[in-house]
Amino acid sequence: MSKDTEVDMKDVELNEVEQEKQPMREGEARNNYANSPVSEKNGIVKVKIPDEETKFTGLSKEELMKVAGTPGWVKVRWALLILFWLGWLGMLAGAIAIIIQAPRCKPLPEMNWWNYGPLYQIGDVNSFTSDLQGLAGKVQALDELKVKGLIIGPIHVSSADKPEDLNLTEISKEAGNATQFKEVIQAAHKRGISVVLDLTPNYKGEEPWFANVAFNSLELEPALRHWLAEGVDGFLFYGVEKVSTVAPSLWRDVEDLFRNQTESDGKTKKVLIGVTEKSSPDDIAAVLNKTGVDLLLTGALRSRSPLDVAHSVARLYSTYNQTKLTWNIGGRIAGHLATIVGLTKVKLCQLLLLTLPGTPVFSYGDEIGLQDEPTKNPTMVWDFSNDTETPKNTLEEMSVFRAFFKTVSEKRTKERSLQHGEYLPLFNSTFAMAYVRKWDQNERYIIALNWHSNETVTLQLKHAEIPEQATVVFSTIDKDVDKLLDLASLELKPEEGIMLKFPYTS
Nearest CA to 497 among 346, 377, 385, 378? 346
Do 463 and 483 contact (CB within 8 A), yes or no? no
Q: Is residue 238 part of a domain?
A: yes
Of 110 and 426, more confident: 426
- pLDDT band for position 102 (cuts 50, 70, 90): low
Q: Is residue 240 part of a domain?
A: yes
Q: Is 184 in the same domain as 297? A: yes
User: What DSSP assignment string belongs to 446-482?
Assistant: EEEEE--SS--EEE----TTS-SEEEEEEESS---TT
Q: Is 380 in the same domain as 412? A: yes
Residue length, the chain? 506
Domain that holds residue 465: 425-502
Q: Is 324 in the same domain as 450? A: no
Distance CA 171, CA 500 (A): 47
Q: Is residue 220 part of a domain?
A: yes
- The residue from 364, 387, 422 where one domain ends is 422
- What pLDDT, on the 0 to 100 scale, is given for residue 218? 64
Distance CA 182, CA 384 (A): 29
pLDDT digits (tens, 9 = 90+) for 14-39: 455 455 445 555 445 444 444 444 44
- What pLDDT, on the 0 to 100 scale, is given for residue 414? 94
Q: Is 152 in the same domain as 194? A: yes
| Mean pLDDT on 307-313 | 92
- The residue from 359, 387, 422 where one domain ends is 422
- What pLDDT, on the 0 to 100 scale, is given for residue 38? 47
Strand, coil or helix: 397: helix
Of 281 and 262, more confident: 281
Q: What is the number of structural domains in the chain?
A: 2
Is the per-residue pLDDT at 235 higher than 70?
yes
Q: Quick one: which H or E segment has residue 29?
A: helix 26-35
- The residue from 422, 449, 484 where one domain ends is 422
In percent, how much of the chain has pLDDT > 70? 85
Strand, coil or helix: 283: helix
Which residues contact residue 187 at a Cβ distance below 8 angstroms, ignoring those fewer than 6 apart? 136, 137, 139
Distance CA 410, CA 406 (A): 6
pLDDT digits (tens, 9 = 90+) for 355-410: 999 999 999 999 999 999 788 899 999 988 888 788 999 999 999 999 999 999 99
Instruction: Note the pTM of the prediction, 2 decimals.
Output: 0.80
pLDDT digits (tens, 9 = 90+) for 417-461: 999 999 999 999 999 999 999 999 999 999 999 999 999 999 999
Do 492 and 456 contact (CB within 8 A), yes or no? yes
Strand, coil or helix: 224: helix
Lowest mean pLDDT among 87-101, 221-235, 254-268, 417-431: 254-268
